[in-house]
């Protein structure tokens, strides 16, 4: 094929223009941004960035703009009005120039009570900061990090400093960088499903999450001591058992000493194990699990680590974060590629629930005085979404009839009558049902259910031959992602999957699994967020004192006064089950109790 472009037209000259640098930043070619390719490349700047000693000038300029951008940095408060950035430095002492934080409160009140639109990097952080200043935010707010996240969930730039770097701006132009990032992101998604998702879901959800963070969840502080004593006693007992089996005492928390004991002193097999940088064989959980079946000491060590993690993560980790009997987690909207919320400081979403002792940790979280906790979660929401998206008639009919989906799958896969399904058959069918969602391999399934790889592959093959629509749906997701570079959720949230173009087989395989799973996991995230908005609006509209206090994946928890409990439970069930309309019913069970454990 002859190209219509002359070779001379392909010549490039250095430095590249600023527009090329912006494109590199958008593609996250971070290591190249400060290279010689852009030496001499000038970034568009403001007409002025001035350090202010009087807020009256900024207040006067506010009347001439429709919107403003703000940023809070260590060097002070940044405010961009039109083509000028005002910097209000913070004082370090009475002798230094600038403002004490409280001296800026009149400026905050003028800004955030105006009818102008405020552009910020993080709306929820703004609400917290203004609450601390006793200032209400009543003006419209635009959250630039949410906009950029919705345009590409793989992007992790979320602060003004990130935006400064992306646009190659001077370090003083923090607020202006927010303005630039907002303009670019909005132009890119104008009129798209992502903009609708931003306006109708993510932006209002930030306010709901702010309220949840402010409210917090009450904890039973005495239970920390109960769990701590329990775990400490078991750790001491497990340590002595290990020492006895090893025939010596050593530092059980030292990977080097543990490796020497297991592989040098006791002579355990090392086939398939890797050595670390110090030349010792790995003692990771994965490595030890290979030995656990044949060696008691390894099983005890794994148990020791399990208990130690419960102690350090959930007791020692959470207790220092309790304030006046309340713990306030922080919910993150932009940390996952699927749209799921995450939480931090403390992370309340990774409390283990598969085993009873993990579930017992929920006893730490209790209702406020005179209240009760209401807990509701979606039943098998991702499997129901699979039935909906794939159009698989047997799955849809089973859910509409209220059948046990795992027993139904077992009967289909194993070719037996429903009444003849054994607990083992159901357990394996359950593993297949949930494994299919994540594109599980025969090897992974075999490990989960305790069978051979050949048996596991036979289960998967029989599943797909029974539910052919599911197989076609999964394959179509991968095909669509390879063609378009992304997949969608039920509300149009996109996940871009560049891994599908990787030269690495393992990376491409990960991308294919992501393409299969994202529409399901991402849609479940969309739905729980819709439910949170619905619950919050209903509680406020009906002037109730009940508060939404926890969100954990497909589960919501309310803290309700006794006299409101029944009405709040009905609202919770109605809003969760009615969040979207599917071809199969969304079902929710609501339970109550004095603690999160009792309510679950």
Starting at the edge strand that comes first in sequence, how are the strands of the sheet with 588-593 ordered?
A: 547-552, 555-561, 371-378, 588-593
The whole-number pLDDT of residue 54 equals 86
Are 140 and 182 a contacting pair, CB within 8 Å? no
Compute the distance between CA of residue 368 and CA of residue 219 in angstroms, rounded to an integer: 9
CA-based max dimension of the chain: 85
The whole-number pLDDT of residue 48 equals 64
Compute the distance between CA of residue 342 and CA of residue 419 in angstroms, rounded to an integer: 41
Q: CA geometry: angle at 506 spanning 479 and 342, to 5°?
A: 80
How many C-alpha atoms does 547 have within 13 Å on its Cβ side? Answer: 16
Residues of the chain above pLDDT 90, percent: 61
Q: Please report which helix (H) or strand (E) contains residue 211, including its range.
A: helix 203-215
Name the band, by pLDDT with cuts 50, 70 and 90, for residue 271. confident
Residue 239 has pLDDT above 90, yes or no: yes
The whole-number pLDDT of residue 353 equals 77
pTM of this structure: 0.88
Are 258 and 398 a contacting pair, CB within 8 Å? no
Name the band, by pLDDT with cuts 50, 70 and 90, for residue 41. very low
Range name among 206-210, 264-268, 388-392 with the lowest pLDDT average = 264-268
Residue 34 has pLDDT above 60, yes or no: no
- Reported as a single tens digit per residue, the pLDDT across 400-421 is 999 999 998 888 888 888 888 8
Domains of the chain as residue ranges with CATH:
45-190 (3.30.420.10), 219-327 (1.20.1060.10), 342-381+525-599 (3.30.70.370), 383-516 (1.10.150.20)
At a CB cut-off of 8 Å and minimum separation 6, what does 146 contact? 123, 198, 202, 203, 206, 333, 334
Find where tokens 């109708």 sit: 200
486-512 average pLDDT score:
92
Range name among 4-18, 134-148, 279-293, 412-426 with the lowest pLDDT average = 4-18
DSSP string, 418-441: GGG--HHHHHHHHHHHHHHHTT--
Are 443 and 449 a contacting pair, CB within 8 Å? no
Residue 393 has pLDDT above 50, yes or no: yes
Compute the distance between CA of residue 485 and CA of residue 31 in angstroms, rounded to an integer: 24
Range name among 139-148, 167-176, 485-494 with the lowest pLDDT average = 167-176
Range name among 136-140, 270-274, 551-555 with the lowest pLDDT average = 270-274
- Among candidate residues 233, 236, 234, the one with its CA nearest the CA of residue 249: 236
Name the band, by pLDDT with cuts 50, 70 and 90, for residue 190. confident
Residue 388 has pLDDT above 60, yes or no: yes
Name the band, by pLDDT with cuts 50, 70 and 90, for residue 23. low
Return mean pLDDT, the chain. 89
DSSP type of residue 44? P
* Residues making up the chain, counted from first to last: 600
The whole-number pLDDT of residue 20 equals 64
Say what angle helices 505-541 and 468-484 make with each other, to 10 degrees: 100
Name the band, by pLDDT with cuts 50, 70 and 90, for residue 42. very low
> What are the respective helix, strand and coil percentages of the chain, to the nearest 5?
55, 15, 30
Compute the distance between CA of residue 589 and CA of residue 379 in angstroms, rounded to an integer: 8
Compute the distance between CA of residue 331 and CA of residue 217 in angstroms, rounded to an integer: 13
């Amino acid at each position: 094929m002859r190209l219509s472009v002359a070779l001379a037209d392909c010549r490039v000259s250095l430095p590249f223009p600023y527009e090329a640098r912006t494109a590199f930043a958008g593609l996250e070619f971070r290591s190249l941004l400060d290279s010689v390719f852009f030496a001499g490349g000038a970034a568009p700047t403001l007409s002025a960035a001035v350090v202010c000693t009087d807020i009256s000038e900024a207040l006067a300029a506010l009347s001439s703009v429709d919107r403003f951008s703000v940023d809070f940095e260590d060097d002070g408060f940044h405010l961009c009005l039109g083509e000028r950035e005002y910097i209000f430095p913070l004082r370090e002492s009475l002798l230094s120039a600038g403002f004490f934080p409280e001296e800026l409160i009149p400026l905050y009140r003028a800004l955030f009570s105006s009818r102008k639109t405020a552009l910020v990097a993080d709306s929820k952080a703004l609400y917290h900061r203004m609450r601390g200043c006793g200032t209400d935010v009543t003006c419209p707010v635009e959250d630039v990090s949410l906009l950029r996240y919705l345009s590409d969930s793989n992007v992790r730039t979320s602060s003004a400093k990130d935006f400064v770097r992306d646009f190659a701006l001077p370090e003083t132009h923090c607020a202006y960088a927010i303005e630039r990032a907002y303009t670019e992101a909005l132009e890119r998604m104008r009129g798209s499903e992502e903009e609708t998702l931003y306006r109708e879901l993510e932006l209002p959800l930030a306010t709901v999450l702010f309220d949840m963070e402010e409210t917090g969840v009450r904890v039973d502080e005495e239970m920390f001591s109960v769990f701590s004593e329990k775990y400490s006693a078991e750790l001491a007992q497990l340590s002595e058992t290990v020492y006895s089996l090893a025939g010596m005492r050593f530092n059980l928390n030292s990977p080097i000493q543990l490796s020497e004991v297991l592989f040098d002193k006791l002579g355990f097999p090392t086939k398939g194990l890797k050595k670390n940088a110090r030349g010792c064989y790995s003692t990771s959980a994965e490595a030890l699990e290979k030995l656990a079946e044949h060696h008691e000491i390894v099983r005890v060590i794994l148990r020791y680590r399990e208990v130690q993690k419960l102690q350090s993560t959930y007791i020692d980790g959470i207790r220092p974060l309790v304030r006046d009997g309340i713990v306030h987690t922080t919910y993150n909207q932009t940390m996952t590629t699927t749209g799921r919320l995450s939480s931090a400081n403390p992370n309340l979403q990774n409390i283990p629930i598969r085993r009873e002792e993990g579930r017992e940790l929920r006893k730490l979280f209790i209702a406020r005085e005179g209240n009760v906790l209401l807990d509701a979660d979606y039943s098998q929401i991702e499997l129901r979404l699979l039935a909906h998206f794939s159009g698989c008639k047997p799955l849809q009919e089973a859910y509409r009839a209220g059948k046990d989906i795992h027993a139904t799958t077992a009967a289909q896969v194993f070719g037996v009558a429903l009444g003849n399904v054994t607990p083992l058959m159901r357990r394996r069918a359950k593993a297949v049902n949930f494994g299919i969602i994540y594109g599980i391999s025969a090897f992974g399934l075999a490990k989960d259910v305790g069978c051979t790889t050949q048996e596991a592959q036979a289960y998967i093959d029989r599943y797909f031959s029974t539910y052919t629509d599911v197989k076609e749906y999964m394959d179509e997701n991968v095909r669509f992602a390879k063609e378009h570079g992304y997949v969608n959720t039920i509300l149009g949230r996109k996940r871009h999957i560049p891994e599908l173009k990787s030269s690495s087989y393992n990376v491409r395989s990960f991308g294919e699994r992501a393409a299969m799973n994202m529409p399901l996991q991402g849609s479940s995230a969309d739905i729980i967020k819709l439910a949170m908005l619905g619950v919050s609006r209903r509680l406020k509209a009906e002037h109730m004192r009940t508060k939404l206090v926890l969100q954990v994946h497909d589960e919501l928890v309310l803290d309700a006064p006794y006299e409101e409990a029944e009405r709040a439970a009905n609202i919770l069930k109605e809003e969760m089950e009615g969040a979207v309309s599917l071809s199969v019913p969304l079902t929710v069970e609501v339970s109550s109790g004095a603690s999160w454990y009792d309510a679950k």
